[in-house]
Structure 1
Amino acid sequence: MSYLAPYKKSVMIAVAFMLLDVVCEVVQPTLMSDIVGRGIQTGNIPFILGVGALMILFALLAIVAGFGNARHSARAGVGFAAGLRRGLFEKVQTFSFKNIDDFSTASLATRLTNDVTLLQNAGIMSLRLMIRAPLMFVFAMIMALRMNARLAVVLVVIIPTLLIALGFIIKTALPLFNQMQARMDALNGSVRENLTNVRVVKSFVQQDYEKRKFKSANDALTGASLRAMNVVIFNMPVMMLVMNLATVSVIWFGGGQVIRGELQAAQMVAFINYIFQILMSLMMLSMMFVLFSRASASYKRVMEVLNTEVDLTDEQGAGERPIRGDVTFEHVFFKYDPANGENVLRDITLSVKAGQTVAVIGGTGAGKSSLVQLIPRLYDATEGRVLIDGRDVREYTVESLRSQVGMVLQKNTLFSGSIRDNLKWGDEHASDEEVEAAAKAAQAHDFIMGFPNGYDTWIEQGGVNVSGGQKQRLCIARALLKKPPILILDDSTSAVDTATERRIRDAFDTELSGTTKFIIAQRISSVKDADQIVILSDGQIADVGTHDELLARSEEYQEIYYSQQEKEADA
């Protein structure tokens, strides 16, 4: 309701227009009855013309009212959906990685688009049909009872029959709509995965496999949709059957009253029209209930997002504090699933002084990325503490902490926009000279100037129009422009040659001499000059030391070093 509140004026106007529309429509059968009974039968032409003109006036008013209702209903519905979509997106921006993993990106995309659209349509239709139907039902019922209360008894049998049938249809359809939206998530996930990784698909010639996978997801959605629709389609035949039975009953009992002289033929025609209006209003309500039963599935999915408790927020007493760069891990344990998962990191204790360069090496799955992601609170430690400048990271506000920690993640991501726009993610207020200086330090300036438009070259979504090495260097430049007290490089130079990597490391020493640097790397040559080298093995610290110290005492380090030396010699 809070997202609909800004449009309450449009809602009230839509309701007023609908009220006028219904009144204009409900009086028509009575006016027609007067023309037939008091005009045609007596040959009173002036009366026929006068009442006929009144009917035309009411019809024109109904047209204007219908247009006004449709216009303001659309304004309120579309505005409501825009606000809800914005609210959902803003909520997702507060999510931790764990929150996002719980939903999946494909499901979140479906909820922000398809589910919100369904709620928008339900909102617009409710301002039209959901208001029109009850008003018409009430007014037509009053007119029918006023005209012939005995004949209106037919409705006592008809209406409960309709309600029972409608309740059965909705109860059966609701779980099927839930299944349909889940299948929509799966289909969107399949499409998103394929389009994101289309180059891999083509390079491995797996188009046929992807077609089969898409067909499977598409067929599952089709099947779920058909099962839901097969239930819903019973709604119209049931409504038409009941409406026809009601008409036959009115003609049967009303005809007897006309023969006995208890009811005029014109009045029976008007009564039948009111019966039609009553049953049409019930039909509209049944359509709305079916729409609502589908929208309710979307409503629950949207509310799951809005009501999600973000598990990583500012702690009480957290503040904005400048960071010098000391980092300490005190007996840190970490698991991605605190309830049932296994520890990815176990009893990590490490102390790093401001300005030091710390290298983290280890095999695949050793926990290297998990370790550095605890520093900017992308995740929180399950046990133990991560300290920056002697303070628990939870004593900093999330925004203050992350704004002072630069990260070049393992998966390099660029966004659609110019190269300059992408680099200014590091500092939106940076001058052109500062942007170029960061690019030069990251060894990106030369290839940028090789493009026809230089720094104004457009980057396609995901950076698909630059190479892997170029993408890595742009991401490094973006982090350098931030000038952070702490910089984390997660295997961020794997796609560049050793000479370029050497120049980047030299730039770190000059441009970021006071910055604490965490470097995750596979090559010993990338880390041997580090102040500390941390060897992780199966989530634990196997050893810590300088290159010379580890080469002298650590068998694991020796194995890595000499195996790489042999590969370089063979190359």
Structure 2
Amino acid sequence: MLLRLLRAHLRPYALPIIALVVLQLVQTVATLYLPALNADIIDNGVLTGDQGHILRVGGVMLAVAAVQLICAIGAVGFGARTATALGRDLRASVFDQVQSFSAREVGRFGAPSLITRTTNDVQQIQMLVLVTFTLMITAPIMCVGGIVLALDQDAVLSGLLVVVVPLLGVLIALLVARLRPLFRAMQVRIDAVNRILREQINGLQVIRAFNKDVHEQRRFGEANAELTGTALRVGNLMALMFPTVMIVVNVSSVAVTWFAAGRIDSGAMQVGALVAFLSYLMQILMSVMMATFMFMMIPRAEVCAERIQEVLDTESTVRLPSEPVRELHRRGHLELRDVGFRYPGAEEPVLQGIEFHARPGETTAIIGSTGSGKSTLINLIPRLSDVTTGTILIDGVDVRDLDPATLTRTVAFVPQRPYLFSGTVASNLRYGDPEATDDDLWHALEIARAADFVRRLPGGLDAPLSQGGGNVSGGQRQRLAIARALVRRPEIHLFDDSFSALDYATDAQVRAGLRQETADATVVIVAQRVNTIRDADRILVLDAGRLVGAGTHQELMADNETYREIVLSQLSEEEAA
């Protein structure tokens, strides 16, 4: 999975990678050449007292060292830029894929896990690629080259390498095999900590209201302890790796010196050759050590790659049309034909057999008990999810055949829980129309009865809003969300219980302003409060996912028992009449 992900995303950077490999090759050859030059200086210069030879070969060594330094700097530069670009591309790919998801896919992964996959998981892969480009390309070249040149210095002494290198490889393989499952567990633990922390930050008021501080501290502490325990087990294994390598390196050096002493004494080996052999031995073992460092990262990166690829391979249930319709000839005719919706694996559908027609200039209201499918139904119109049976038509065109830009331009949706982004009042309102003027924004605020409180904010339209709109009240958030939808001036307005945080007087004022502003548009309102929808041109009554009534308030009060029960649970007989 890791190789598949890297092949797909590193392909655009083939030229920098080729340049990097060439630079690393030249650098490694230079590194391997230096011990041979050093041996030449010792044997033919120092031992013979030839000062001229020492200076000539020393000059060559300086030139080789300079080439090595320049190539190393260039290779690290190419490697860092390519690894950083890969991280950027992976984050963009995951972000773009998540943006295409419907609520179903987002719910399947969960927001904390998607955040971890976009940040921490991508960072692990980016670090692996950086280490690979800076160390791992050098390691095999240095290992093979070191073995060849060590053989050239003394073939008999090189027999030690037959024992040392495989031994080191086996020890590292055993440690890496233990690390892989621990790294997978660590990423899951990070997800859990992120999820709990996100819940506690968002639910801080509820925690304090129910005096659950100690409970939540214990809950976070357990998740944190599990992550810490897994990280400690990983750390303990990683701590064994470097001492293991160093023991092998030092014992090998002692063994080489021991056996070489006898060969030098017998004249079978020169002192310079011993110095060069020790240098090559160190280079061979250091290359294995560099590979060890990368092997420590591979298991975690593989797990991260699997998690990222899982997101990239997940297809949204809301799919783009192959031949999208970009122009609509009528304005705002909405029709639902035998619409049904079922969650995957559910025994019963959430909605079934829903049919109605909403026309421009009319207000259609949807009401029903909790869990009757009101929000699910209205979410199907802007394709936050797709119907599983039936068809939703706008101006005679199936919404699944509409170009997404055309659909969002035609339909404005105010969700049940309005969300404001960090920025200013103006930047949030211009989500509806980036080209809207300040006059357009103030007009929409006036209709939504939000202009007065915006004027009181320091800066007016430029007043800052925190993430989620946390620095304004719930009713103010709803009015700003309504104004944001009005700025777009769409043909169809969808309000999903968007007046629930408003008092009755403000609710009536907002609806009166909307009635004038949307006189030529199609309006669909989902509401729990009867007063919000009693003046609608048509009221649809949902019960257990089925449409059990349609008509005006008076008609439904007369002949629909479900609607009558809902009304009388909120109003007296006199008020209802």
316, 324, 332: which one pairs with 2:339? Answer: 332
Q: Deviations over 1:241-262 (max 9, x none)?
A: 3223432332343333223321
Give the secondary structure class of the aligned counterpart of 2:367. strand
Q: Deviations over 1:149-178 (max 9, x none)?
A: 222122222222222222222222112111
| 2:45 paired with 1:39 | yes
Give the secondary structure class of the aligned counterpart of 1:472. helix
1:267 paired residue number: 273
Structure 1 CA distance for aligned equivalents of residues 321 and 314 of structure 2: 17
431, 437, 447: which one pairs with 1:425? Answer: 431
1:472 paired residue number: 478
Structure 1 CA distance for aligned equivalents of residues 212 and 61 of structure 2: 68
Asked if structure 1 preserves the Cα contact closer than 8 Å seen for 2:317 and 2:386, the reply is no
Aligned positions of 1:198-217 closer than 5 A: 198-217=204-223
Q: Deviations over 1:501-534 (max 9, x none)?
A: 1111112221111221111111111111111111
Give the secondary structure class of the aligned counterpart of 1:262. coil
Counterparts in 2 of 1:189 and 1:469: CA distance versus 1, 3 Å: same
191, 194, 198: which one pairs with 1:188? Answer: 194
106, 116, 130: which one pairs with 2:112? Answer: 106
79, 82, 85: which one pairs with 2:88? Answer: 82
Structure 1 CA distance for aligned equivalents of residues 251 and 574 of structure 2: 89
1:58 paired residue number: 64
Q: Deviations over 1:459-508 (max 9, x none)?
A: 11111111111111000011111111111111111111111111111122
1:152 paired residue number: 158
Structure 1 CA distance for aligned equivalents of residues 291 and 453 of structure 2: 64
| 2:97 paired with 1:91 | yes
Aligned residue type for 2:324: A
Structure 1 CA distance for aligned equivalents of residues 574 and 526 of structure 2: 20
Structure 1 CA distance for aligned equivalents of residues 362 and 343 of structure 2: 29
Give the secondary structure class of the aligned counterpart of 1:98. helix
Asked if structure 1 preserves the Cα contact closer than 8 Å seen for 2:9 and 2:86, the reply is yes
Structure 1 CA distance for aligned equivalents of residues 184 and 194 of structure 2: 16
Structure 2 CA distance for aligned equivalents of residues 407 and 566 of structure 1: 32
The Cα of 1:340 is off from its aligned counterpart by 4.2
Aligned residue type for 2:521: T
| 2:256 paired with 1:253 | no
Structure 2 CA distance for aligned equivalents of residues 390 and 419 of structure 1: 36
The Cα of 1:65 is off from its aligned counterpart by 2.9
Structure 2 CA distance for aligned equivalents of residues 311 and 230 of structure 1: 44
Task: Give identity over the alignment, percent.
Answer: 39
Q: Comparing 487-496 with 398-407, which one deviates more in the overlay?
A: 398-407
Asked if structure 1 preserves the Cα contact closer than 8 Å seen for 2:332 and 2:410, the reply is no
CA RMSD across the alignment? 2.1
Give the secondary structure class of the aligned counterpart of 2:570. helix
Q: Comparing 51-60 with 435-444, which one deviates more in the overlay?
A: 51-60
Structure 1 CA distance for aligned equivalents of residues 453 and 289 of structure 2: 67
Give the secondary structure class of the aligned counterpart of 1:376. coil
| 2:412 paired with 1:406 | yes
The Cα of 1:568 is off from its aligned counterpart by 11
Q: Deviations over 1:202-241 (max 9, x none)?
A: 4444333332222122111112222233333332233223
Aligned residue type for 2:202: T
The Cα of 1:113 is off from its aligned counterpart by 0.8
Asked if structure 2 preserves the Cα contact closer than 8 Å seen for 1:325 and 1:355, the reply is no
Asked if structure 1 preserves the Cα contact closer than 8 Å seen for 2:176 and 2:296, the reply is yes
1:227 paired residue number: 233
Q: TM-score, normalising length from structure 1?
A: 0.94
Asked if structure 2 preserves the Cα contact closer than 8 Å seen for 1:335 and 1:343, the reply is yes
1:415 paired residue number: 421
Q: Comparing 325-334 with 369-378, which one deviates more in the overlay?
A: 325-334
111, 118, 123: which one pairs with 2:124? Answer: 118
1:485 paired residue number: 491
Aligned residue type for 1:335: R
Aligned residue type for 2:404: V
Q: TM-score, normalising length from structure 2?
A: 0.93
Aligned residue type for 1:553: D
| 2:221 paired with 1:197 | no
Counterparts in 2 of 1:226 and 1:255: CA distance versus 1, 3 Å: same
1:545 paired residue number: 551
2:450 paired residue number: 444
The aligned length equals: 568
Structure 2 CA distance for aligned equivalents of residues 264 and 182 of structure 1: 57
Aligned residue type for 2:164: I
